[in-house]
Chain A
């Protein structure tokens, strides 16, 4: 080993160091036979796999990646690559930044000025390499529907937990580089959630006194946010969620679990593929912890985002996770014939294809006439949070968005959570109060 001037060591790539089993093809990929980008991608996957005890790499059936790679990084890993190795969808454009919509959203021109040229270059590479430009945190909305037991690599903590839980597909909470390397090579280290034994629940959640017929979208989010902090990185199973709950409501339960906590999988007894009953979800073992949730816990969690710093709301955000067409229809119904306040903004987030559907159904027209803006970007504004400078109070129906916006704005903005109906009412009246 020699120490270079920066104090970093030189580590020659030695075959004997590989503990992970590689097929002949994978060895060739790592040796540069398939080009420089694949060689780099493979080396990182192998290094990472070795560190986390993976026996080998597993082939993935789909990937979902984040379209905001540093341009140099994307070029490095895409060098000599003709196309992605598997069906791949793209996550939303991050920081709520849409090249088409940023002006009507009120996002700063300086921020846009820096972002626009980079986002164009990235989009060219994505298009050329076949990354499907779906721009959604709900890949299922765009036809990315892996089956139970299939290994995938999906980015986005909401997408990850939903794929594991609702579809029974298998993904780790991959970081953006491992994820990109997996999409380019079609393989990912076989560890963590790709293995049966790591998918069993340790935390069992029961409900007392919750009326699931009347509970609202944001109250469901409060449950997720509350449990996430308790579960931390352990797997969860919920008993008692109604069978008729669809994606609209389940996404609010799941997304906050990987926000206040870092939960990878959340079984729902009697509903999700790996939880025909609680015992199966728990792997036949007693849970490490049993948590009971009632109205008291829901209200206490809601209280964290209930008091605005002043009476007037400046920005209403709905779409974290992205809205389903059902939600867009409801919102259009609430805005039909009305206008949002002169000093208010309304941002809605949904998948690119869903926006087209909303246009065909007439919902987008109603919402836009009322003054709302629909985009396929990240409504939690991760990571740059370029809110218009005059925004002091934000109202949203999402605990995940509330958490991140509060964190990224470092005290400059007060965020309150309310249900969709309350959010739209506030956008119209300008009044921030949560009833």
Chain B
């Protein structure tokens, strides 16, 4: 299934999705040393985000987040790509600092419902599209 969206930071990547249904921040919700999700009480808390395609509705606050993502990248713990329903400027800045693809605005779907944690997602931000391969 190919879905059209908007490229915020270009590039191509493929990886396993981690889907979060609430707004996410790299400061507070991710540990830059371990790359783990640190959302208190979340069922996926503790899950490593390194090398994953993180999917969330939008970012939330935390202007210090770009520094945190720089550290994550230096530690080899950066995610592989980011997909948002509607990106916020801080998340965009983080993707640019980590130099990973970021896409948003997928008008034909509700992104966090159509992708499930564990799905393989391929992103071609240059072409403005993603494809989801459900695990068989």
Contact = CB atoms under 8 A, between A and B. Distances in A.
Interface of A: 1, 3, 6-9, 11, 44, 47-48, 51-52, 66, 68-70, 72-73, 94, 155-157, 172-179, 192, 258-259, 262, 382-383, 407-408, 410-411
Nearest to A157: B63
Contact of B28 (A66, A174, A176, A408): A408
A7 B80 CA distance: 7
B64 A383 contact: yes
A51 to B, nearest CB: 5
B61 A177 contact: no
B97 interface: yes
A172 B88 CA distance: 12
B94 A175 contact: yes
Name, among B14, B15, B64, B71, the residue most crowded by chain A CB atoms within 10 Å (CB to CB). B64
Interface in B1-58: 8-15, 27-28, 40, 51
Given A48-B93, A70-B70, A73-B70, A174 B80 contact: no
A173 B13 CA distance: 29
Contacts of A411: 40
Nearest to A410: B40
B13 A175 contact: no
26 contacts: A1-B11, A8-B11, A8-B13, A8-B80, A8-B101, A9-B10, A9-B101, A48-B92, A51-B8, A51-B9, A51-B92, A68-B64, A155-B63, A157-B63, A173-B63, A175-B64, A175-B65, A177-B67, A177-B93, A178-B93, A179-B63, A192-B89, A262-B60, A262-B61, A262-B88, A383-B27
Nearest to B104: A51
A259 B25 CA distance: 13
Contacts of A9: 10-13, 101, 126
Name, among A6, A51, A72, A172, the residue most crowded by chain B CB atoms within 10 Å (CB to CB). A51
B67 A73 contact: yes
A74 B90 CA distance: 19
A323 B63 CA distance: 22
Contact of A44 (B15, B74, B96): B96
Contacts of A382: 64
B64 A157 contact: no
Interface of B: 8-15, 27-28, 40, 51, 60-61, 63-68, 70-71, 74, 80, 88-90, 92-94, 96-97, 99-101, 126
A155 B62 CA distance: 11
A382 B9 CA distance: 28
A47 B96 contact: yes
B28 A175 contact: no
Given A48-B92, A175-B93, A176-B65, 6 more contacts: A1-B11, A48-B96, A70-B74, A72-B74, A175-B65, A411-B40
Contacts of B99: 8
B136 to A, nearest CB: 21
Given A70-B67, A172-B89, A44 B80 contact: no
A7 B67 contact: no
A172 B93 CA distance: 13
Contacts of B40: 410-411
B33 to A, nearest CB: 12
A179 B64 CA distance: 10
Nearest to B6: A51
Contacts of B27: 383
Nearest to B53: A7
A288 to B, nearest CB: 17
B110 to A, nearest CB: 19
A407 B63 contact: no
B74 A176 contact: no
B77 to A, nearest CB: 12
A93 to B, nearest CB: 13
